[in-house]
Amino acid sequence: MNHPRILSSALTCVAAAGIVALSSCTIESASQAPDMSGEAPIFEVDPLWPRPLPNHWILGSTIGVGVDSRDHVFIIHRQTTFSEVNEIGATLDPPTSECCVPAPNVLEFDPEGNLVNSWGGPGEGYDWPTSNHGLSVDHHDNIWIGGNGGPDGQLLKFTRDGEFLMQVGVADAQPNSNSTEHFSRVAKISFDGTTDEAFVADGYGNRRVVVLDSNTGEFKRYWGAYGNEPSDDLVPSHTPGGPPQQQFRTPVHCADPSADGLVYVCDRAGNRIQVFQSDGTFVREAFIANATLGGGSVWDITFSRDPGQRFLYVADGMNKVVHVLDRESLEVLTSFGGGGRQPGQFYGVHSVATDSQGNLYTTETYEGKRLQKFVFMGTGPVTAEHQGALWPRSGGE
Helix, strand or coil for residue 259? coil
Q: Mean pLDDT in the chain?
A: 87
Structural domains of the chain sorted by starting position, each given as residue range(s) with its CATH number in brackets = 53-75+123-366 (2.120.10.30)
- Note the pLDDT of residue 370: 97
- Note the pLDDT of residue 37: 52
Nearest by Cα to 351 from 254, 244, 222, 264: 254
CA distance 374 to 185: 30
Percentage of the chain beyond pLDDT 70 is 86
- Note the pLDDT of residue 14: 31
**What is the average pLDDT across 158-167?**
98
CA distance 385 to 361: 27
Q: What is the CA radius of gyration of the chain?
A: 20
Q: For the segment 212-266, what is each residue's pLDDT rounded down to a tens digit?
A: 999 999 999 999 999 999 999 888 776 767 788 899 999 999 999 999 999 999 9
Q: Is residue 298 predicted with pLDDT exceeding 50?
A: yes
Q: Is residue 160 predicted with pLDDT exceeding 90?
A: yes
- Note the pLDDT of residue 49: 98
CA distance 25 to 41: 14
Contact 362, 348 (CB under 8 A): no
Q: For the segment 77-121, what is each residue's pLDDT rounded down to a tens digit?
A: 999 998 888 999 999 989 999 999 999 999 999 999 999 999 999
Q: For the segment 15-60, what is each residue's pLDDT rounded down to a tens digit?
A: 222 333 333 333 333 223 344 457 899 999 999 999 999 999 999 9
CB burial class (10 A; 0-12, 13-18, 19+) of residue 123? middle
Q: Which long-range contacts (CB under 8 A, 24 or more apart) does 275-279 make?
A: 275/330, 276/209, 276/223, 276/227, 278/192, 278/195, 278/197, 278/211, 279/221
- Note the pLDDT of residue 385: 45
CA distance 114 to 106: 14
Contact 304, 326 (CB under 8 A): no
Q: For the segment 306-353, what is each residue's pLDDT rounded down to a tens digit?
A: 999 999 999 999 999 999 999 999 999 999 999 999 999 999 999 999
